[in-house]
Amino acid sequence: MNEIIYGTTNPAKVAQVRSILEPLGFDVRSLADFDTTLTVEEDGETAEENARKKAIAYAQALGKKVLSMDAALYFNDLPDDQQPGLHVRRIHGIERSSDEEMLAYYTDLAKSMGDRVDAYWRYAFALANPDSTCVSFVHDTPRIFVSEPSNHIIEGFPLESIQIDPSSGKYISEMSKEEAATFWQTSIGVPLTQFVQENY
């Protein structure tokens, strides 16, 4: 299998990408598998800038190809100055809010917008080499946010308990392993698969 390093230590994010790339013959590893304490400041103006910055920094540090991702969240009909954008976890001045704080904030936001609101995630992926060459792409995927959370909360991905897949009408957090794999393959798997196959 080809090794590919995913530039994160978040196990939920690793599992998400692993479910997409393993069927292609990739052994997906995370930063937790390596002896590195490098942290990258995500100060770009877009998700793509942040993804590229992380991928390049980690690839240089590890001397290996690294795939990185960043995401931004946008709600339909919400004014620009109130959009979470890149700062999904920055709530009430807290730089990195807890899962519980995030869930409370976005549940209240959905309630204030009529209990059910259309939104989308903007995913940016970047694949970098140790020599700093880097390619990237951006892909938007729709969601429905609701004010009534599911009882099943995934650590590291709390908002999946108030997000519904527009196609199936199911809470993302309540999907079985097989359903989740199909969901991610449909929403970001196809473009990510194409991107990796063309650039790895």
Phi, psi of 186 (to 5 degrees): -75, -40
What pLDDT is attached to residue 131? Answer: 97
Here the contacts of 188-193 (C-beta below 8 Å, separation 24 or greater) are 188/20, 188/123, 188/139, 188/141, 189/19, 189/20, 191/137, 191/139, 192/17, 192/20, 192/21, 192/125, 192/139, 193/20, 193/21, 193/24
Cβ-contact 200, 134 below 8 angstroms: no
Query: How large is the C-alpha radius of gyration of the chain?
Result: 17
What is the residue extent of each domain of the chain? 2-199
Cβ-contact 161, 102 below 8 angstroms: no
Query: pLDDT tens-digit profile of 168-189?
Result: 999 999 999 888 878 888 889 8
pTM here is 0.86
Closest CA to 122 of 52, 184, 71: 71
Query: Which residues of the chain register pLDDT less than 50?
Result: none
Q: Is 2-199 a domain of CATH 3.90.950.10?
A: yes
The sign of the CA dihedral 175, 176, 182, 185 is positive
Q: For residue 137, give both structure tokens.
A: 């792409």
What pLDDT is attached to residue 95? Answer: 76
What pLDDT is attached to residue 169? Answer: 93
CA atoms within 13 A on the CB side of 42: 22
What is the amino acid identity at position 151? N
Task: Report how far residue 120's alpha carbon sits from residue 151's, in angstroms, rounded to the nearest whole number.
Answer: 22
